[in-house]
Structure 1
Amino acid sequence: MVDPLDPGTLALPLTFKRPRGRPRKPNALTAAERARRYRARKKTLATHVVSLAVHSDVVRERDEALFQVKQMRAELERLLLQLQS
């Protein structure tokens, strides 16, 4: 407050200067909470769950491919024997 009788008093600014940067959120997480959530998210991604239907399809296709490989190897052996004789 300025004293009109005293020439040495100055008017002080009543506004305050905001700090630099983005203002904090009222519900901001601490570093420990963010780390805990990150580890939990990583853990759920590491245990990738495949449905039983997809798993059975993949196993069936693998078995069919192995059977075809076995047939082709037998045919190759038969053809090699024909070439040798």
Structure 2
Amino acid sequence: MILDQPIKKWFVTKQGKDSNFKSFMKSISWRIVGTLDTMVISFFVTGQLVMAISIGSIEVVTKIILYYFHERAWESATKIEKDEPKKEFA
């Protein structure tokens, strides 16, 4: 694929780690799925479409922000330090 490598540069850093942009895009796509789920559940619980949409519209913003910071914390916690010896597998 001709566009594979240029597009990959948007999502992975030179060290092979997920980029901030990739974390942000993952949080957006996951929130779309999560918000639809929240709206469906809210509709079944309340029986009111307007209430379900209101609940979904509030939680989509807060959970995008929370997921982004969660993703960055995981990336930071799992990064390899420069001075840390690399493990080799036989």
- Given the two structures, how large is their TM-score scaled by the length of structure 1? 0.35
Choose between structure 1 and 2 for higher RCO, CA contacts under 8 A separated by at least 6 residues.
2
Query: Which has the higher Rg, Structure 1 or Structure 2?
Result: 1
Normalized against structure 2, the TM-score is what?
0.33
**Which protein has the bigger helix share?**
2
